[in-house]
């Protein structure tokens, strides 16, 4: 007989502060952990505080309602402080429970996590096998040094073991085998309120679920935590079985594929697309892809298989920044423009993503990105402000510059409306203005909302739009913007259309 385990996704409301319609996606990593636990006969309950925007108190009350022996919490970097507060309350209300933290942030900083939280264990990297080993070690009272991929401060034992997560550049001997993706049970969607997940910010109709067909990315983008990781694929039949289950058993119509790059292997993506068609699967599928990996044959196959949403990463409209990001020698503005026009031949939505604030990046270079975004005419544009996340190559750059440290406050490490660490040549307040300006100026033409900033939500005050610099910019590119801006009685800038 197994034990009671409570899993928690902290609320992510702060990530989407101004968004009027939210993206509510099932926390897939946690769903994989839940499936592994259930397969091993443990009794699992889930608290997705992001779905209901729960406070710390309500999150903990809900999670402790089943009187768990183990509590597992996932978190990204900006949610780390919430995870710490959740652990603190759990330890106060249920001091005998064993707390395990997992996810990208704590995997990157396991030691600091044990130093700054009251967690007993930190799972480093993939957790499907690790969590089972932790439970066994606690139940049998054995030292955790035999558990793969863990840092611990439990029962008087402290230490860290080898991780499963290996970068391409790292030697094989220093790492343990990654989990076998074909042997992992599919995410335990039934333990979540899976009918309530959807992507309101992107007009998705009906329920949407998330899935992952491969893990890792050979790309080397300097801001990305997935950069330079070994790519592993699930067998195509294994993926198709899951898609059939999503459509026929759970009656879900939309799937977002979380793979870092859906198109990283041409032969495979063609075979997968053919398999979807051959099995008669009729899902609407959203994917993220790289422009240097797509051609007409791939696009035809994706479109035929039900892909209705594609998300290429453009990142920058300045050639020097494109190289600095590390998008590879083949990538250039001309090439991306050509590939965007290819994508735009199909009746699907194209979401282009951009980043601003690379180390040393100037206002002029950011304006080139904004102009390039406008030229590309994607249906949706996502502008992120660069954040050197602890699992990305830029974290080490920022560390060398003395701009970050393992114990700092990470609550502003967001893509959108806050800047936890500014590495650019532009002052922080100005960078935020340029970010707002990008949304306002380029817009998201495919959406029917009155606010253009689908992903981040408009901030109410946009002084740049009334500035002399903006007027000059519009003149320089010979365009008249249809919106004009006035200050109202509260001295707030308002758009008058």
Contacts with ligand B12 by CB under 6 A lie at 12, 15, 23, 25, 27-30, 32-33, 50, 72-74, 76-79, 100, 102-105, 107-108, 123, 126-128, 130-131, 210, 212, 224-226, 258, 260, 389-391, 414-416
- Residue 28: name its binding partner from ligand B12, ligand SF4, none (Cβ under 5 to 8 Å by kind): ligand B12
Q: Are 50 and 10 in contact (CB under 8 A)?
A: yes
Let me know if 241 is exposed, middle or buried by CB neighbors in 10 A (0-12, 13-18, 19+). Answer: middle
* Residue whose CB is less far from ligand SF4, 260 or 433: 260
Q: Which two tokens stand for residue 332?
A: 């250039």
* DSSP secondary structure of 167-189: BTTS-GGGSPPPP-TTTSPPP-G
* Residue whose CB is less far from ligand B12, 121 or 441: 121
Q: Which two tokens stand for residue 420?
A: 């936890």
Within 40-145, residue ranges assigned H as helices are: 49-52, 56-64, 80-93, 104-108, 110-116, 130-140
What is the closest distance, in whole angstroms, from the C-beta atom of residue 41 to ligand SF4 in the complex? 35
What is the closest distance, in whole angstroms, from the C-beta atom of residue 491 to ligand B12 in the complex? 29
Return all residues near 103 (Cβ < 8 A) that are at least 6 apart.
Answer: 29, 74, 75, 76
Q: From the list 313, 359, 443, 457, which residue makes contact with ligand SF4 (rule: CB under 6 A)? A: 313
- Residue 29: name its binding partner from ligand SF4, ligand B12, none (Cβ under 5 to 8 Å by kind): ligand B12
Q: From the list 226, 257, 269, 376, which residue makes contact with ligand SF4 (rule: CB under 6 A)? A: 226
CA–CA separation, 130 and 144 (whole Å): 11
Give the interface segment with ligand SF4, choosing from 3-11, 222-230, 420-428, 462-470 (CB under 6 A).
222-230
Hunting for tokens 């600091």 — which residue is that?
112
What is the closest distance, in whole angstroms, from the C-beta atom of residue 210 to ligand SF4 in the complex? 16
CA–CA separation, 250 and 421 (whole Å): 42
What is the closest distance, in whole angstroms, from the C-beta atom of residue 346 to ligand B12 in the complex? 22
- Residue 291: name its binding partner from ligand B12, ligand SF4, none (Cβ under 5 to 8 Å by kind): none
Closest CA to 317 of 359, 350, 355: 355
CA–CA separation, 222 and 215 (whole Å): 18
What DSSP state is assigned to residue 248? I
Q: Which two tokens stand for residue 323?
A: 């190289």
Residue 227 is a binding residue for ligand SF4 (CB under 6 A): yes
Closest CA to 431 of 391, 459, 455: 459
* Residue whose CB is less far from ligand SF4, 153 or 318: 318
* Residue whose CB is less far from ligand B12, 137 or 465: 137
- Residue 313: name its binding partner from ligand SF4, ligand B12, none (Cβ under 5 to 8 Å by kind): ligand SF4
Q: Which two tokens stand for residue 218?
A: 């050979």
Which neighbouring-strand residues pair with 298? none
Residue 317 is a binding residue for ligand SF4 (CB under 6 A): no
What is the closest distance, in whole angstroms, from the C-beta atom of residue 152 to ligand B12 in the complex? 12
Q: Which two tokens stand for residue 220?
A: 């080397």
* Residue whose CB is less far from ligand B12, 19 or 373: 19
* Residue whose CB is less far from ligand B12, 414 or 442: 414
Residue 217 is a binding residue for ligand SF4 (CB under 6 A): yes
- Length of the chain in terms of residues written: 497
- Residue 233: name its binding partner from ligand SF4, ligand B12, none (Cβ under 5 to 8 Å by kind): none
Return all residues near 430 (Cβ < 8 A) that are at least 6 apart.
Answer: 363
Q: Which helix (H) or strand (E) holds 275?
A: helix 266-278
Closest CA to 247 of 191, 209, 302: 209
Chain centroid, CA 481 distance in Å: 33
Give the interface segment with ligand SF4, choosing from 39-47, 175-183, 216-224, 394-402 (CB under 6 A).
216-224
What is the closest distance, in whole angstroms, from the C-beta atom of residue 217 to ligand SF4 in the complex? 3
Closest CA to 6 of 118, 113, 94: 94
What is the closest distance, in whole angstroms, from the C-beta atom of residue 496 to ligand B12 in the complex? 30
Residue 224 is a binding residue for ligand SF4 (CB under 6 A): yes
CA–CA separation, 272 and 287 (whole Å): 13
* Residue whose CB is less far from ligand SF4, 201 or 226: 226
- 265 to 304: interface string for ligand SF4, x by CB under 6 A: -------------------------x--------------
Give the interface segment with ligand SF4, choosing from 153-161, 215-223, 239-247, 420-428 (CB under 6 A).
215-223
What is the closest distance, in whole angstroms, from the C-beta atom of residue 387 to ligand B12 in the complex? 7
- Residue 74: name its binding partner from ligand B12, ligand SF4, none (Cβ under 5 to 8 Å by kind): ligand B12
Residue 104 is a binding residue for ligand SF4 (CB under 6 A): no
Residue 257 is a binding residue for ligand SF4 (CB under 6 A): no
Residue 312 is a binding residue for ligand SF4 (CB under 6 A): no
Which neighbouring-strand residues pair with 383? 354
Q: Where are the beta strands (DSSP E) in 276-435?
A: 284-289, 307-315, 349-356, 380-385
Which neighbouring-strand residues pair with 311? 288
* Residue whose CB is less far from ligand SF4, 167 or 251: 167
* Residue whose CB is less far from ligand B12, 83 or 322: 83
Contacting residues toward ligand SF4, per CB under 6 A: 217, 219, 221, 224, 226-227, 260-261, 290, 313
């Amino acid at each position: 007989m197994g034990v009671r385990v409570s899993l928690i996704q902290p609320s992510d409301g702060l990530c989407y502060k101004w968004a009027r319609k939210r993206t509510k996606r099932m926390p897939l990593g946690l769903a994989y952990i839940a499936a592994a636990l259930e397969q091993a006969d443990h009794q699992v309950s889930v608290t997705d505080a992001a779905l209901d925007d729960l406070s710390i108190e309500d999150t903990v009350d809900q999670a402790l309602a089943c009187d768990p022996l183990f509590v597992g919490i996932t978190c990204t970097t900006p949610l780390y402080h919430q995870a710490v507060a959740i652990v603190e309350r759990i330890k106060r209300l249920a001091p005998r429970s064993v707390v395990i933290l997992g996810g990208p942030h704590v995997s990157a900083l396991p030691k600091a996590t044990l130093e700054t939280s009251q967690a007993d264990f930190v799972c480093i990297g993939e957790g499907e096998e690790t969590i089972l080993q932790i439970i066994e070690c606690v139940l049998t009272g054995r030292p955790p040094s035999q558990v793969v991929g863990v840092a611990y401060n439990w029962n008087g034992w402290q230490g860290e073991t080898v991780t499963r997560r290996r970068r391409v550049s790292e030697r094989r001997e220093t790492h343990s085998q990654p989990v076998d993706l074909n042997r992992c049970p599919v995410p335990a969607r039934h333990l979540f309120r899976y009918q309530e997940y959807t992507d309101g910010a992107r007009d998705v109709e009906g329920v949407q679920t998330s899935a992952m067909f491969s893990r890792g990315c050979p790309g080397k983008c300097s801001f990305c935590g997935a950069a330079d990781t070994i790519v592993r694929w699930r067998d195509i039949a294994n993926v198709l079985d899951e898609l059939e289950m999503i459509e026929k058993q759970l009656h879900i119509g939309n799937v977002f594929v979380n793979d870092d790059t859906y198109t990283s292997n041409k032969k495979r993506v063609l075979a997968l697309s053919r398999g979807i068609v051959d099995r008669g699967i009729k899902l609407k599928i959203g994917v993220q892809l790289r422009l240097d990996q797509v051609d007409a044959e791939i696009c035809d196959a994706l479109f035929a298989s039900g892909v209705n949403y594609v998300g290429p990463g453009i990142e920058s409209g300045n050639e020097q920044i494109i190289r600095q990001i590390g998008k590879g020698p083949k990538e250039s503005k001309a090439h991306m423009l050509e590939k965007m026009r290819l994508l735009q031949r199909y009746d699907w939505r194209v979401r282009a993503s951009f980043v601003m604030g690379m180390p040393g990046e100037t206002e002029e270079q950011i304006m080139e990105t904004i102009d390039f975004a406008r030229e590309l005419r994607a249906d949706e544009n996502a502008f992120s402000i660069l954040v050197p996340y602890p699992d990305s190559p830029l974290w080490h750059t920022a560390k060398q510059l003395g701009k970050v440290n393992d114990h700092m406050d990470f609550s502003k490490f967001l893509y959108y409306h806050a800047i936890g660490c500014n590495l650019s040549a532009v002052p922080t307040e100005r960078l935020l203005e340029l970010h707002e300006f990008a949304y306002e100026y380029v817009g998201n033409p495919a959406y029917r909302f009155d606010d253009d900033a689908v992903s981040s939500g408009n901030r109410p005050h946009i002084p740049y739009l009334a500035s002399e610099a903006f007027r000059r910019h519009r003149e320089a590119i010979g365009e008249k913007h249809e919106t004009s801006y006035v200050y109202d009685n509260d001295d707030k800038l308002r758009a008058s259309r």
